[in-house]
Amino acid sequence: MLRNELAVTLRIMGIRWRGQMAYRASFWMQVVSNFIINTAEVLALFAMFYRFDDLGGWTLAEVAFLHGISMITFSIADTIVVGLNAVPNQIRMGEFDRVLIRPMSSWLQSVVSEVSLRHLGQFSQGLIVFIYAVSNLSIEWSLAKVGVVAMMVIVGFALFSALFTVEAILSFWTVNGVEAVNAFTYGGSTLARFPLHVLERWMRFLFLWMVPVGFVSYYPTLYVLGKEDPLGNPAWFMFLGPLFVLLFCLLIAWGWGQAIRRYRSTGS
């Protein structure tokens, strides 16, 4: 049953992708403009390193590595899981009922209600930055390290998906937009581009332990780059990322169930 639901999910996503790409000119314009918008931040990074030689002991290439991973991960989530942003509006317009009539998970249906291909602009930019970083670093690559990079992307994607879901969940209770969550999604992805130890203590706490953004990228990156953690935490911290994100996702899954339960109890 679940396998069929996932197959249908992919099918719907495919249809939406093709639909958006059908408008060729519009598609390319959006991707390019998204690319350009993200250039500003990358340029800011380079500008910073023009001024300073290093950031808390991190070179430009090393920070760029973090940037690349973060941009890639976030843009994938922003492309695929963006349908969740439409949930508040669907509820307001009374269009959420039809979701409950169908033999398919309400969450999956919400996810595929939209795709946003323009974030491929950010994705390509992230890829470029990542390649720049890797080609300027002398990383001793191993199968394990490649695996860790893949893990970062997958776990990061899961985390951002969960965060997008939070906003949708909250919209079942409040009428107004829950813009505060954006501080964690967009804010979190921005912060994840910088080595954690340069952040203030409270920020580190927030983004390491509360919303495990830091665990997803910082510690695995330390491992890949072969750096020591100035905060003194052991190397196996990098495996806490997947664990924490898994727990977080389970929590959010429960939250979604509660939201649906409330909707079916109060009708709106």
Partner 1 sequence: MTDTMISAQKLIKTFPIKKHHAGALGALRGLVDRTPDEQFTAVDNISFEIERGEMVGYIGPNGAGKSTTIKMLTGILVPSSGEATVAGITPWENRKQLARQIGVVFGQRTQLWWDLALIDSLDLLRHMYQVPEKRFRENLDHARELLDLDDFLRTPVRQLSLGQRMRGDLAAALLHDPPILYLDEPTIGLDIVAKARMREFLSALNRDRQVTILLTTHDLADIEHLCKRIIVIDHGQVMYDGGLDALRGRFGGKRHITVDFEQEPDDAIMTLHNGQISVVERTGPRVRIAFDRTAITAPELLARAGRYGSVRDMSIEEPQIEEVIRQMYEGARV
Taking the mean position of all CA atoms in its chain, how far away is CA 60?
23
Closer CB to partner 1, residue 184 or residue 263? 263
267 lines the binding site for partner 1 (CB under 8 A) = yes
Count of residues of this chain found to bind partner 1 when the rule CB under 8 A is applied: 22
Site stretch for partner 1 (CB under 8 A), options 7-15, 46-54, 195-203, 214-222: 7-15
Q: Which residue from 216, 206, 211 is spatially nearest to 242, judged by alpha carbons?
A: 216
Other CB atoms within 10 A of residue 170 CB: 18
Site stretch for partner 1 (CB under 8 A), options 93-101, 128-136, 158-166, 198-206: 93-101
CA neighbours closer than 13 Å in the CB half-sphere of residue 171: 20
> Judged by CB under 8 A, which of 103, 176, 179, 236 binds partner 1?
103
CB of 241 to partner 1, least distance (A): 33
The tokens describing 209, both together, are: 């332990």
22 lines the binding site for partner 1 (CB under 8 A) = no
> Judged by CB under 8 A, which of 32, 36, 48, 100 binds partner 1?
100
264 lines the binding site for partner 1 (CB under 8 A) = yes
104 lines the binding site for partner 1 (CB under 8 A) = yes
265 lines the binding site for partner 1 (CB under 8 A) = yes
19 lines the binding site for partner 1 (CB under 8 A) = yes
Site stretch for partner 1 (CB under 8 A), options 55-63, 89-97, 201-209, 239-247: 89-97
CB of 69 to partner 1, least distance (A): 34
> Judged by CB under 8 A, which of 95, 251, 253, 258 binds partner 1?
95
259 lines the binding site for partner 1 (CB under 8 A) = no
Alpha-carbon distance values, 20 to 8, 17, 31, 186 (Å): 18, 5, 11, 24
Alpha-carbon distance values, 114 to 19, 166, 216 (Å): 11, 17, 26
Residues that bind partner 1 (CB under 8 A): 1, 4, 7-8, 11-12, 15, 19, 94-95, 97-98, 100-104, 261, 264-267
